[in-house]
Amino acid sequence: MAHLPLPEQIQYSLVRALGRLPEPLQILLSGKKRIVVDGLTLDAQLQMILAIRARMPEKELHELPPPAARRKYRREARVGSGIPEAMAEVRDLEYPAAAGNQRARLYVPPGAEEGPLLVYYHGGGFVIGDVETHDAPCRLIAKQARIRVLSVEYRLAPEHPFPAAVEDSLAAYRWARANAAELGAEPGRIAVGGDSAGGNLSAVIAQLATAAGEAPQSQILIYPTVESITEWPSLAKFGKGYILTTEDREYFMGNYLPPGTDKRDPRVAPLLAADLSGLPPAIVLTADFDPLRDEAECYVDALRTAGNEVEHLRIAGMGHGFIHMIGIQDSARTATVQLAEAVGKIIRRAPVGM
């Protein structure tokens, strides 16, 4: 764990050691009975981690100005990441966007075949996050799927509100297609994917690129936000105490959307697009205890109703943001590996246009 500062090494080691305890002891340490909601049982290790977080004297993301929230997010991502997966190549790049070049990072795992490439958009509510916060999950997905992953940054709100993130994300996808050979990819085997806000951007780019005749090979939506108007039941049930809170979500969308923005714009709410037919095959991952669960699963139903192919992975016992816990929570790592294996299968299928 030499990549972590000493205080974070200690925090990581403590949480990892507690995670090896038997489940009854983890529940006991949480200070609560086993949490069961609507017949769904929260993962014991996650219940303990949530209890540890609740006892820490730190402000929540929505209580911090964006620069401080970004630092908190980076620190928590480092603690939860564990030992980085070794890659055959990690290359820092830049891609051109309307307001200037943006950072990107290419991951090439050992044994990766040429052709498949996943353009990955990080989560963080359009306000926080970068290639560093998502280094560990991108490495694990690349390794387990045996594909290249291009992690890209985009301009963040509130300094750069909507539609800046959409514009940059589309530019990144188009740049990857135009420079496919340099990236070891084929234009017809480039998928888009991301988590949370990055899942939203992936769904939006899949729609925009398909309409423009340059559809991605597939779309990988990891607990995406797809419509922020409806009072979804999962938001009421899990909007407090399960990592992402209702207040966090309001904070993110309040920073992302300028006053007067139409929240029904499909570039904000891809679920509300007038026509969802003809979109690339999708993997949509949701989690039992995620406040975004219901809107994402509504998108699964809408995509299927429109005639699209969708593989839905519902992860039992887990909450939002678990891909950042792969170093400290066994179930989070197992779920991320399951996702990566599904990604590897879908992205190796026939390229677009065949």
Orientation of helix 135-145 relative to helix 330-347, angle to 10°: 50
d(CA 6, CA 150): 30
**Closest by CA position to 289, among listed 316, 324, 312:** 316
In 76-136, at which residue ranges do the beta strands (DSSP E only) sit?
Answer: 89-95, 102-108, 115-121
Q: What share of the chain is helix, strand, coil (3-state, %, to 5)?
A: 45, 15, 40
C-beta of residue 151 within 8 angstroms of C-beta of residue 107: yes
Q: Within 10 A of 297 (CB to CB), how many other CB atoms are there?
A: 18
The DSSP letter of residue 89 is E
CA distance 261 to 253: 11
| Single-letter code of the amino acid located at 342 | A
Q: Which residues are catalytic?
A: 196, 290, 320
CA distance 79 to 114: 33
Nearest CA-CA partner of 330 in 8, 23, 33? 23
106 — phi, psi (to 5°)?
Answer: -100, 130
Closest CA to 145 of 349, 312, 343, 351: 343
Handedness of CA 127, 290, 220, 282 (dihedral sign): negative
Sign of CA dihedral 201, 202, 207, 213: positive
Q: How far is residue 87's CA from residue 71's CA, in Å, rounded to a whole number?
A: 26
Report yes or no: 236 and 201 within 8 Å, Cβ to Cβ: no
